[in-house]
Amino acid sequence: MQQQLRKVFVTRRIPQEGLRVLSQAAICDIKQWNSDEPIPRAELLKGAAGAHGLLCLLSDKVDKEVLDAAGPDLKVISTLSVGFDHLALEDIKRRGIRVGYTPDVLTDATAELSVALLLATSRRLPEAVQEVKNGGWRSWAPEWMCGHGLSESTIGIIGLGRIGQAIGRRLKPFGVRRFLYSGRQPRPECAAELQAEHVPLDKLAEESDFVIVSCSLNPETEGICNKHFFSKMKTTAVFVNTSRGAVVNQEDLYQALASSQIAAAGLDVTVPEPLPMDHALLTLKNCVILPHIGSATYATRNTMSVLAANNLLAGLRGEPMPSELQL
Ligand code: NDP
Ligand code: DGY
């Protein structure tokens, strides 16, 4: 019956599979911002009003204002992401709202993209492609377009979680000699496969040939890759970030790259997103920037949308979610 339908607001066009799961459950009255463009703030506030469930994206800041706009009926927030730094978790918890997210299903795709970005950056692929197109390729030359290889290297992973481990697993066969990692505490069970050594951040910076950032963004990790950190890195080292842009102080990264304090950086995430076309980082040849495409395979995004839909439905039914964030 109509009055039993739960009001659901979906903040973006999402893969059809997820929407189909929501529709077929026949317990939702679905409203959607049916566009590939981010929802304007005013529309988000309007759409959330009176909703029982919100299916949102990492680009939607769900803060006190949105929660107030939604009102007391809001029982579940399901984000189409594993990252949850866009959600005001304390406020959400205080209001008794449950949160679903999408861990695991995007781990392989994100790890794969991280490896692709690392190789593109360390072997200077975008620069080389550009040289072919602009006539810079004159002949084979012994010292032209050289980069840094993985063989016998030391890899430092900041945040040896699901994605960090999956990246390490993929890099090991390239002949990596040693893995280091940093995090709040040693995680022997995560480190065993790579025989990775838990080290303080400074030591990771000093000894790594490749630094990969795959931690979550939280108050402790915000800005940890800063001037001090880059000053400890080797001048031949390559820095890769596929976690969140705010883990990095971008001014400091720019200086480190421009002054050749470090060799190169590959970023899938920035602040802000999208990065303005006139941003200083875009002027650097030794900086490869991607538009936050870590999980962007068709299959992964479909699976994420189905998981986000099932999380939402379970929350609305008061059942255990397939992937619930423990608040
Ligand atoms: P996990 O929760 O499995 O891993 C997060 C890691 O962050 C843990 O290893 C944790 O280590 C570490 N961490 C937390 N706090 C700190 C700290 N203070 N210092 C160092 N490490 C810390 O999450 P996932 O691996 O599934 O995802 C990681 C992140 O990747 C997401 O939060 C998201 O932001 C990002 N992501 C980006 C994508 C993209 O498209 N580029 C796609 C998917 C995810 P410990 O607990 O030991 O401190
Ligand atoms: C996430 O899930 O947190 C990514 O940033 C996008 O998939």
ipTM above 0.90, yes or no: yes
- Closest to 30 measured CA to CA, from 53, 61, 62: 53
pLDDT digits (tens, 9 = 90+) for 176-200: 999 999 999 999 999 999 999 999 9
Cα 14 from Cα 22, distance rounded (Å): 12
Mutation pick for ligand 1 pocket among 212, 214, 240, 288 (CB with most ligand atoms within 8 Å): 214
For residue 10, how many C-alpha atoms fall within 13 Å in the half-sphere facing its CB? 25
pLDDT for residue 291? 98
At position 289, the amino acid (one-letter code) is I
Q: Do domains 6-104+298-325 and 106-289 have the same CATH topology?
A: yes
Beta-sheet strand order (sheet of 238-241): 197-198, 178-182, 154-158, 210-213, 238-241, 264-267, 287-289
Q: Where are the domains of the chain?
A: 6-104+298-325, 106-289
Q: Give me ligand 2 centre to Cα 102, in Å.
A: 8
Q: How far apart are CA 275 and CA 279, in angstroms?
A: 7
Which stretches in the chain have pLDDT values below 70? Answer: 1-3
Predicted pLDDT at 3: 52
Catalytic residues: 292
The order of strands in the sheet holding 76-79 is: 28-32, 6-10, 53-56, 76-79, 98-100
The answer to whether domain 6-104+298-325 has CATH 2.40.30.260 is no
Which atom of ligand 2 lies closest to the CA of 101?
2
Among the bound ligands, name the one nearest to the CA of residue 109.
1
Pocket test for ligand 2, best of 82, 108, 215 (most atoms within 8 A of CB): 82
pLDDT at 4: 79
Q: State the Cα–Cα distance between residues 240 and 214, nearest whole angstrom.
A: 9
Q: What's residue 53's pLDDT?
A: 98
Instruction: Measure 136 CA to ligand 2 centroid, in angstroms.
Output: 37
Measured distance CA(257)–CA(238) in Å, rounded: 10
Q: Which ligand is nearest to the CA of 110?
A: 1
Ligand nearest to the CA of 301: 2
Q: Amino acid identity of 219?
A: P
**Which class does domain 106-289 fall in?**
alpha beta
Q: Look at ligand 2, atom 1, and give the residue with the nearest C-alpha.
A: 81
